[in-house]
């Protein structure tokens, strides 16, 4: 069996050169430096790895999917720059965030520049025009949906929303870019429409599981590994499936009132945040969320069961499992 973490490291190293090859030494130099910082810093690079793997899994020439992989990684990093700015975060990957290091105007422009460069790259894909247009459509739709999902996430903060609204939000915020990478890679590999649709659905389900597990790490993760305060999501009142499950499952009105009093309280102490986590544990909400994430990943794997056996298919399965079995 493929070790997804090790395989991702290998693919990340292979993609490192292409990722660093598209932003030249133009003026103004501070904009170029700001645009390079996040994509050049590494990371898991799950989305670009997925684009290359799905191309190979359908029998395509994986080298032709590398530019799309770079484009998707640039788009992902464009969203990170703007996320950090919106959230007021000061650190990412151990570095000052772009708006801290370069200022807010340059951070906005760096995100815009990565977004534009991604589309330049897609327009130059070495595939028939109809495949380029099809891949472009998936990516464009994903960016539109991603913006909608990000705004829904902002709107939801501090609100108690239904599990259905939560799932729709994370699908738009997280899953769609995974899906654009996966479907785009399959398109470049020459897959037929039914195969592209199945691979797109695989990645949507994987993305849901990934985000649900990410939300779990925000509550119960190891701060030294995640780099996030486990109390922040509680203080912000982030409405995850753990929260929605707890709200509908807590039987004692006093406990429910206590939980709601901590949730969304920016002044909540570490002890209060730990108490909120305890309440969710006792309500079975954390186990419920992990089970739901597992279900999404199982759905993802089932979607690609028809693909012929290959190392790339094996990696796609391993990547789905890795999405809900990681410490960061």
pLDDT digits (tens, 9 = 90+) for 21-80: 999 999 999 999 999 999 999 888 999 999 999 999 999 999 999 999 999 999 999 999
Confidence of residue 136 (pLDDT cuts 50, 70, 90): very high
Residue among 229, 218, 243 at smallest CA distance from 165: 243
Average pLDDT on 77-101 reads 89
Element (H, E) at 96: strand 95-96
Compute the residue count for the chain.
Answer: 328
Of 46-50, 210-214, 229-233, minimum mean pLDDT range: 229-233
pLDDT of residue 176: 97
Distance CA 193, CA 131 (A): 11
Average pLDDT on 269-274 reads 94
Distance CA 194, CA 166 (A): 28
Contact between 35 and 114 (Cβ < 8 Å): yes
Q: pTM of this prediction? A: 0.93
* pLDDT over 80 (residue 225): no
Average pLDDT on 297-307 reads 98
- Higher-confidence position of 233 and 107: 107
* pLDDT over 80 (residue 178): yes
Distance CA 114, CA 100 (A): 18
Distance CA 256, CA 262 (A): 10
pLDDT of residue 1: 82
Confidence of residue 95 (pLDDT cuts 50, 70, 90): confident
pLDDT of residue 229: 63
Average pLDDT on 122-151 reads 96
Output 10-15 pairs: Cβ under 8 A, ≥24 positions apart: 11/45, 11/48, 11/49, 11/52, 11/53, 12/42, 12/43, 12/44, 12/45, 12/49, 15/45, 15/48, 15/49, 15/52, 15/66, 15/69, 15/70, 15/73
* pLDDT over 60 (residue 226): no
Confidence of residue 328 (pLDDT cuts 50, 70, 90): low
pLDDT of residue 220: 82
């Amino acid at each position: 069996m493929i070790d997804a973490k090790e395989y991702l490291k290998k693919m990340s190293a292979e993609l490192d050169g292409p990722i660093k090859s598209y932003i030249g030494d133009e003026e103004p130099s501070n904009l170029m430096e700001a645009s390079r910082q996040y994509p050049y810093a590494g990371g898991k690079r799950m989305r670009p790895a997925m684009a290359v793997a799905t191309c190979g899994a359908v029998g395509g020439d994986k080298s032709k999917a590398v530019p799309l992989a770079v484009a998707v990684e640039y788009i992902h990093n464009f969203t990170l720059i703007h996320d950090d700015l919106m959230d007021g975060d000061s650190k990412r990957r151990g570095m000052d965030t772009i708006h801290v290091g370069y200022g807010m105007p340059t951070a906005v422009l760096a995100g815009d520049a990565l977004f534009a460069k991604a589309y330049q790259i897609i327009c130059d894909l070495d595939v028939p025009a109809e495949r380029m247009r099809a891949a472009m459509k998936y990516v464009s739709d994903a960016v539109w949906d991603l913006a909608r999902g990000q705004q829904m996430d902002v709107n939801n903060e501090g609100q108690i929303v239904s599990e259905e609204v939560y799932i729709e939000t994370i699908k738009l915020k997280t899953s769609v870019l995974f899906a654009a990478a996966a479907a785009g890679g399959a398109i470049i590999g020459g897959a037929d429409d039914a195969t592209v649709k199945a691979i797109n659905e695989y990645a949507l389900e994987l993305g849901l599981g990934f985000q649900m597990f990410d939300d779990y790490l925000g509550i119960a993760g190891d701060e030294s590994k995640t780099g996030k305060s486990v109390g922040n999501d509680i203080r912000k009142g982030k409405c995850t499936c753990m929260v929605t499950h707890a709200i509908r499952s807590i039987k004692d009105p006093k406990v429910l009132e206590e939980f709601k009093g901590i949730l969304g309280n920016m002044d909540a102490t570490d002890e209060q945040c730990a108490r909120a986590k305890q309440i969710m544990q006792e309500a079975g909400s954390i186990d419920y969320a992990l089970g739901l994430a597992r279900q999404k990943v199982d759905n993802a794997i089932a979607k690609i069961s028809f693909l012929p056996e290959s190392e790339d298919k094996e990696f796609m399965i391993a990547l789905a499992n890795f999405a809900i079995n990681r410490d960061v």
